[in-house]
């Protein structure tokens, strides 16, 4: 049995914090902080906020485990969730970017997309280092 490395625990703490922040912003503060475009369908962002809360809860639960074999699949799911989200974020920015306000495009390009990319890379690096 392989013990969980310190880098894996740090990455799980980071994903728990980021998931909680995304969940709070998208679920409760969507109209105030995330809706400069005036969209009338807030259900998708609130749904993703709920998923972000679940990711955060799973990360906290996984942190309590001691062995890598117990958390391997959940760890891959937690960080694998960022790949389709990142693809969707880039596609939405590329397709609908011309209809957004410049501040919204700037937020996508400087905050959410790079953060998701960094978390995805962190998850991949952590997974590779944990396996070896």
pLDDT in tens, 106-124: 777 888 888 889 988 998 9
Nearest Cα to Cα of residue 6 among 83, 86, 63, 55: 63
Beta bridge partners of 67: 3
Model pLDDT, residue 85:
85
Model pLDDT, residue 53:
92
Model pLDDT, residue 109:
81
Calculate ∠ Cα 94-86-110, nearest 5°: 70
- Residues in the chain predicted with pLDDT less than 70, given as ranges, are 1, 30-43
3-class DSSP state for residue 101? coil
Find out whether 56 and 19 touch, Cβ atoms under 8 Å: yes
Model pLDDT, residue 37:
59
Measure the CA–CA gap between 29 and 44, rounded to whole angstroms: 14
Model pLDDT, residue 78:
87
Maximum Cα interatomic distance, the chain, rounded to a whole number of Å: 53
- Torsion sign across C-alpha atoms 79, 80, 83, 86: negative
Measure the CA–CA gap between 14 and 16, rounded to whole angstroms: 5
| Alpha-helical regions (H) of the chain | 6-28, 43-63, 68-80, 82-96, 102-107, 113-131
pTM of the entire structure? Answer: 0.82
pLDDT tens string 26-40: 888 766 665 655 665
Model pLDDT, residue 101:
76
Measure the CA–CA gap between 21 and 85, rounded to whole angstroms: 16
The structure tokens 């049995």 sit at: 1
């Amino acid at each position: 049995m392989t013990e969980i490395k310190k880098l894996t625990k740090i990455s799980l703490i980071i994903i728990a914090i980021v998931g909680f922040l995304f969940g709070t912003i998208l679920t409760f503060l969507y109209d105030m902080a995330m809706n400069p475009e005036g969209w009338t369908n807030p259900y998708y962002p609130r749904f993703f906020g709920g998923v972000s809360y679940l990711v955060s809860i799973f990360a906290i639960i996984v942190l309590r485990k001691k062995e890598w074999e117990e958390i391997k699949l959940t760890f891959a799911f937690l960080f694998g969730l960022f790949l389709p989200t990142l693809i969707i974020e880039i596609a939405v920015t590329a397709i609908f970017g011309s209809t957004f306000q410049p501040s919204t495009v700037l937020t996508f390009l400087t905050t959410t997309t790079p953060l998701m990319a960094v978390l995805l890379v962190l998850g991949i690096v952590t997974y590779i280092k944990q396996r070896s």
